[in-house]
Amino acid sequence: MTAPDRGLAPVMTGIAAMVFDVDGVLTDSARVHAEAWKEAFDACLREHPPADTALDRPFDAADDYLRYVDGKPRADGAAAFLHARRVPIPDGNPSDAPGTGSVAAVAALKDGMFTRRIRQHGIEPFPGSVRLLKALRSAGIPMAAASSSHHARDVLEGAGLLDYFVTLVDGDESHRLGLAGKPDPALFLEAAGRLGVEPAHAAVAEDALAGVEAGRRGGFGLVVGVDRAHTTDTARDLREHGADLVVDDLADLLRAPGTDAHAHDTDEHAHDTDEHAPATDDRAHRAPATDDRAPGPDGKE
């Protein structure tokens, strides 16, 4: 049975399993992460302003979040941003209490702020993501969730999505197994291994630059970049870091209602159309990943 026969876009043909990042891909939690990071980083910048006044500006919850912390383990994301801004504080250690006196303390401060937000307001899944999960389950395609976040299980449970997945490889599992953080593909490869599928026959869905690069490095058959920002720059960056195609919403991986189940794929790119259309295969035109990541160690968590 072909992908269109199963209600999936032609680009999904040959995909035997799918691995999903969580924050920003399945749920709107990436926005909550960004808000918590901004509160923590801005507090640190007020207490410890960089000597270089050109670097002394508030954290940008859009640009800085995507550039420095999105998709990476919490400690790595905190270090990447604070080192790039040359904030005069030590790295500290994981036992540091929440605060602004060390990089580790800022990471802990952010964690508390994020936890408070999700407990107060909850997390909503993206409707298009739920539609795709239902279609994949109906088609018998096994799914895994893979996230560097230690909150991934709580987020999935709160959004009512946990039961869709055969396995979850989260920050706790990653730490237990000693897996390297993205853009290393170890997290995704562990998830694919648990599904019993070779990466070449699996798809990855990611919204982070480090995440799509991890999918490319891992040799996954299809790397889907999810552009929630809906900008030309973010779509371009996702492609440059390894996305085979970029979609605005995961529902773009479904066959459009009313189309012929045996219709052939087109050459148009899902993100390049004005309206949501079934995603198309751009694997033949994949751009090589660039090495323009921010200096220093490069996370949602």
Spot the catalytic one: 5, 23, 91, 249: 23
Structure tokens at 46: 């007020």
Name 167's bridge partners: 144
Q: Of residues 5, 21, 76, 260, which has the active-site annotation?
A: 21
Question: What dihedral do alpha carbons 59, 60, 62, 68 form, nearest 10°?
Answer: -40
Q: Is 23 a catalytic residue?
A: yes
Catalytic residues: 21, 23
